[in-house]
Amino acid sequence: MEAIEALASTDMDVEGRISVKIHDQQNPSKGVWLEEFAHALQFIRYGNVPLSSDDRERRARELEVAQCLFERVERQNLTQEDRSHLERAIRYYGEA
């Protein structure tokens, strides 16, 4: 994860096991934990995301999580950094 400078990642293997990896050297915020938990719930609900040439399904999942968390940002008491991250994600993934 250091190579791509990711704070965290969530994935599902072919046997259906879900892995959540948190880059603890960067002191992840509550927003990072909530985002990865939401992705884990997506794997449970929808299954794995097949690879595609345009990456449309993965982008749709990223957008769904960002919008869901942003709608609840006050209740979750997220930091301004987390709010900014969600706003950027909504703009980026919403462009597809």
- From CA 74, how far away is CA 80, in angstroms rounded? 11
Q: pLDDT tens digits, residue range 10-66?
A: 888 888 888 888 876 667 788 888 999 899 999 889 888 776 667 888 889 999 999
Question: DSSP letters of 40-92?
Answer: HHHHHHH-PPPP-SS-HHHHHHHHHHHHHHHHTHHHHT--HHHHHHHHHHHHH
Helical axes 80-94 vs 56-71, angle rounded to 10°? 140
Residues in a beta bridge with 8: 22
Domain segments of the chain: what residues? 8-94
**pLDDT value of position 4:** 42
**pLDDT value of position 3:** 44
Q: pLDDT tens digits, residue range 9-26?
A: 888 888 888 888 887 666
